[in-house]
A and B are shown apart, each in its own frame.
Chain A
């Protein structure tokens, strides 16, 4: 992410996206943030959801921005981000490919699909391709168990996926 020095929060992401910053700021300002740190902390997770929504991920500069806004320490913000799997502090690919690894999909062979995707993309679960086009991940039950095994590409759901379909799914992303 073109970080040129090692100081905290100067990755430049915040400055590079002024509109996103404005949107996040407006959202946090709409919350009843006050001087009670404990109460402010109650708004942390939703603020991070918003931030990840607008920036796509949570780089240090964004974390610091949220921390300052809520008057809590950066380490606490980081602690929360690292705890919850929904949050990520590294950029993800344009196509987020998630294989459902819920129980119903598992018994219908979702691990084979995951292996196959991993082989095609040359990345492991949780990684992103170098060209930032694809991220590969697992997901716990998307509630479409009748279509198991299920693969989601961004918001699109593919059902009854077989290893042979993997190439087609990737072609759809072109």
Chain B
């Protein structure tokens, strides 16, 4: 997919845009009766999509189907559990089939089948992906608003975006609405920030719009720091123009002429696609001067992060764009009053922007019809961990956790028991089985001691030690604390040490009391959101899994079998001497004769658990 094959036009009026969209639709109908969409996001590529793409192309040639089967490379479809995956579309009927876990050997059958069901290839369950026409209907658990184009359009071709109604929201805003109308629409829609805080987007825009200043800025926060969340990346890789369009709408609403996308350097593919998209949008006149002949000028720059979680916090992010150390400062003043280069600035998350275009096109009332009264719309979650179906899911706000985990995720891997689901990343908490029926929205999650965060959702099973999980998140915050305020810099270090002690069997009841007191102190006194929320994983596990803490402290045991100082592997009498464990032991500390009982040298054992996992005879005890 090269930029040279991209068709661009200069668009000056909404009518020209409509005409272009109609031409694209016509062309798509006439092009080829079968379209195969190959999911080429970072994850798909990592799972090995590239050789499959080549095999499919080769088969089209071999079977002489150049005129009837067209291949398009799209962004992420969210079907991580079944990568590499493709969607085969019957253009005339408008129906499609999703195939997953493909191998290059299946390419001939797939091309042969056309729109019929290809034999012997795994079909992905519909719960994961609805053909466009069945979408957002009753009975569907998932709803696609943010991910509506991701996996469907070719992100490097602006015409595909135009074909889905792209830039018509901007056209409408600029030619039919005043800035105030735009703000009113967004306010009325009830859209709340998807970056974690849930602040009403319309209200934020109104603050900035009310500032009397020649120069204002619109920033897109694409720092996506939660380790385990990747929905922003999916949008940027799969539908980059949606973000550009929404930023221009925001610019018009608040009176800003310059946008900045702050993106983490770890997302090279997303950066490349954004750069292509910006160049195309400029060429077509959707960015630049006098957009849609309205006299409104707007352009967008990309700035890169450099690996600092705290830079996702808006004031730190602004410092980073200014080329400084990304340290947060005390708010107020809020960025809407005094932000980038001390000018009024709005900072919004990628997913928030992706919603804005849909709202502009379909209206506030439509948006409010999805989700709950207080939280309209959808939320995208990155479902991962000990779940059968890992992937990106988008559900209406208010959906129950249980539906996500058991209906969409298909339950826990390997028949194990569910223990907890962690949301909100390092700022969030763990939710237990008792609360699986809670609806998902900002308030409910907070009431459970967790938070929405950016949408990471990590499922844990009986083999996860919650003390160790709390320690993991603390280690993360410790790593990422900018060091500016004492509670976060030193307090978190002490918390981490206490948790380490507990995991090593050195904790006492007093440690538990101190752990809680210090956690609460840090929460109350830290400077920015990072520090204020960093004790959440500790407090939430202390509350929900107190028994596990007590077991570590009083009995010096770890029933999940994770804390290596507290466990021991031993071979029992079921050992038949198959030598499997000895051969796989990375520390070479298992000895024994063939067909005779083996022994583990406890001094050399590194407690990696490989023997435990490889033994087919249940001959290894974990104590």
Quick one: which of A54-93 are within 8 Å of B by CB? Answer: 79-80, 83-87
Which residue of chain A lies nearest to B479 when distances are taken between CB atoms in the complex? A85
Q: B residues within 8 A CB of A167?
A: 586
B47 with A146: CB separation less than 8 A = yes
The complex places the Cα of A80 from the Cα of B323 at a distance, in Å, of 8
* Distance between Cα atoms of A162 and B322 in the complex (Å): 42
Q: Is the CB of B460 within 8 A of A87?
A: no
**A-side contacts of B229, CB under 8 Å:** 141
Segment of B29-37, B304-312, B547-555 engaged in the interface with chain A: B304-312
Query: B304 to chain A: which residues have CB within 8 Å?
Result: 45-46, 49
A3 at the interface (CB under 8 A from B): no
Query: Does A15 make an interface contact (CB < 8 A)?
Result: no
Q: How far apart are A153's CB and chain B's nearest CB, in angstroms? A: 13
- Whether A41 sits at the interface, judged by CB under 8 Å, is yes
The verdict on A142 contacting B47 (CB below 8 Å), with A41-B322, A80-B323, A115-B608 known, is no
Q: What chain A residues lie within 8 Å of B339 (beta carbons)? A: none
Answer whether A143 and B233 are a contact pair too, CB < 8 Å, given A83-B482, A85-B307, A159-B46: yes
Q: How far is the CA of A108 from the CA of B476 in the complex (A)?
A: 17
Whether A45 lies near B306 (C-beta < 8 A) is: yes
Q: Mark A140-151, 1 if CB is under 8 A from B, else 0.
A: 111111111010
Task: Evaluate contact between A144 and B42: CB separation under 8 angstroms.
Answer: yes
In the complex, the chain B residue whose C-beta lies closest to that of A101 is B227
What's the tally of chain B residues with a CB closer than 8 Å to chain A?
56
Q: Which residue from chain A places its CB closest to the CB of B607 in the assembled complex?
A: A112
- Kindly state the separation between the CA atoms of A52 and B66 in the bound complex, as whole angstroms: 44
- 8 Å CB contact of A108 from B305, B308, B341, B385: B385
CB-nearest residue of chain B relative to A39? B341
Q: Is B81 part of the contact surface with A, judged by Cβ < 8 Å?
A: yes
- Distance to closest chain A CB from B610 (angstroms): 5
Shortest CB-to-CB span from B528 to chain A, Å, is 15
Question: C-beta contact mask, A110-152 vs B, less than 8 Å → 1, else 0?
Answer: 0010011001000000000000000000011111111110100
Q: Is the CB of B306 within 8 A of A49?
A: yes
Quick one: which of B228, B320, B458, B584 contacts A45, CB cutoff 8 A? B320
Q: What's the count of A-B pairs with C-beta under 8 Å? A: 141
- Pick from B80, B324, B326, B609: contact of A146, CB below 8 A: B80
In the docked arrangement, what's the CA distance between A87 and B456, Å? 27
Q: How far is the CA of A79 from the CA of B482 in the complex (A)?
A: 12
* CB of A102 within 8 Å of the partner chain: yes
The interface residues of chain B lying within 8 Å CB-to-CB of A139 are: 266
Is B43's CB within 8 Å of the partner chain A? yes
Cβ contact within 8 Å between B47 and A162? no
Asked if B405 is at the interface (CB within 8 A of a chain A CB), the reply is no
Looking at A45, A79, A142, A150, which has the most chain B CB atoms within 10 Å of its CB?
A45
Q: Once bound together, how far apart are the Cα atoms of A93 and B384, in whole Å?
A: 32
CB contacts under 8 Å to A, within B305-339, are 305-309, 320-327
List the A residue with the shortest CB-CB distance to B422.
Answer: A103
Interface string of B464-486 (1 = CB under 8 A from A): 10000100100010000010000
- Residues 465 to 518 of chain B near chain A (Cβ within 8 Å): 469, 472, 476, 482
Compute how far the CA of A118 lies from the CA of B45 in the bound complex, rounded to whole angstroms: 28
> Do the beta carbons of B42 and A143 come within 8 Å of each other?
yes
Residues on the A chain within 8 Å of B303, using CB: 42, 45-46
Q: Is A85 touching B308 in the complex (CB atoms < 8 A)? A: yes
- Scan B73-117; emit 1 where CB is below 8 A from any A CB, else 0: 000000011010000000000000000000000000000000000
Q: Across the interface, which residues of A come within 8 angstroms of B42, CB to CB?
A: 142-144
The residues of B that contact A142 with a CB separation of less than 8 Å are 42, 46, 266
Q: Does A27 contact B (CB under 8 A)?
A: no
B390 CB-CB contact with A under 8 Å: yes
Set of chain A residues within 8 Å of B586, measured between Cβ atoms = 116, 119, 163-164, 166-167
Residues of B within 8 A of A147 (CB): 43, 46-47
How far is A143 from B75 in the complex, measured between Cα atoms in Å? 13
Interface status of A95 (Cβ within 8 A of chain B): no
Interface residues of B in 226-240 (CB under 8 A from A): 226-230, 233
Chain A residues with Cβ under 8 A from B425's Cβ?
103
- Among A45, A86, A144, A146, the residue within 8 A (CB) of B323 is A45
Kindly state the separation between the CA atoms of A84 and B307 in the bound complex, as whole angstroms.
6
A164: B residues at CB distance < 8 A: 584, 586, 610
Contact A103 B456 (CB under 8 A): yes
Q: Quick check: is B370 within 8 A (CB to CB) of the other chain?
A: no
Most buried by A among B83, B226, B385, B584: B385
Report if A28 contacts B (CB, 8 A). Answer: no
In B8-45, the 8 Å CB interface with A consists of 41-43
Q: Is the CB of A159 within 8 A of B227?
A: no
Closest chain-B Cβ to A113's Cβ sits at a distance in Å of 9
The residues in B between 205 and 235 inclusive whose CB is less than 8 angstroms from any CB of A are 225-230, 233
Cα A46 to Cα B275 with chains together (Å): 15
A106 to chain B: closest residue by CB? B472
The winner among A101, A104, A163 for most chain B CB atoms within 10 A is: A104
State the CA gap A103–B4 with chains docked (Å).
40
Q: Name the residue on B nearest A41 (C-beta).
A: B323
CB of A173 closer than 8 Å to a CB of B: no
Chain A residues whose C-beta falls within 8 Å of the C-beta of B321 in the assembled complex: 42
A87-B320 Cα distance, complex, nearest whole Å: 14
Nearest neighbor of A42 in chain B, beta-carbon distance: B323
Residues on B with beta carbons closer than 8 Å to the beta carbon of A38:
322, 341
Check A145–B384 contact: CB distance below 8 A. Answer: yes
A46-B303, A102-B228 in contact; A107/B326 too (CB < 8 A)? no
Are B308 and A159 interface neighbours, CB within 8 A?
no
Q: State whether B382 touches A145 (Cβ < 8 A).
A: yes
In the complex, besides A46-B304, A49-B304, A141-B230, 8 extra interface pairs with C-beta distance below 8 angstroms are A41-B323, A42-B322, A49-B306, A84-B306, A85-B307, A86-B266, A107-B386, A140-B476
List, sorted by A's number, 5 A–B pairs whose CB atoms are closer than 8 Å: A101-B227, A103-B458, A107-B385, A144-B42, A145-B80
- Give the B-binding residues of A (Cβ under 8 A): 38, 40-46, 48-49, 79-80, 83-87, 101-104, 106-108, 112, 115-116, 119, 139-148, 150, 157, 159, 162-164, 166-167
Residues of B whose CB lies within 8 Å of any CB of A are: 41-43, 46-47, 80-81, 83, 225-230, 233, 265-266, 303-309, 320-327, 341, 382, 384-386, 390-391, 422, 425, 456, 458, 460, 464, 469, 472, 476, 482, 584, 586-587, 606, 608-610
In the A-B complex, list the 5 residue pairs whose CB atoms are closest, starting with the nearest: A84-B306, A146-B80, A103-B228, A86-B307, A41-B323
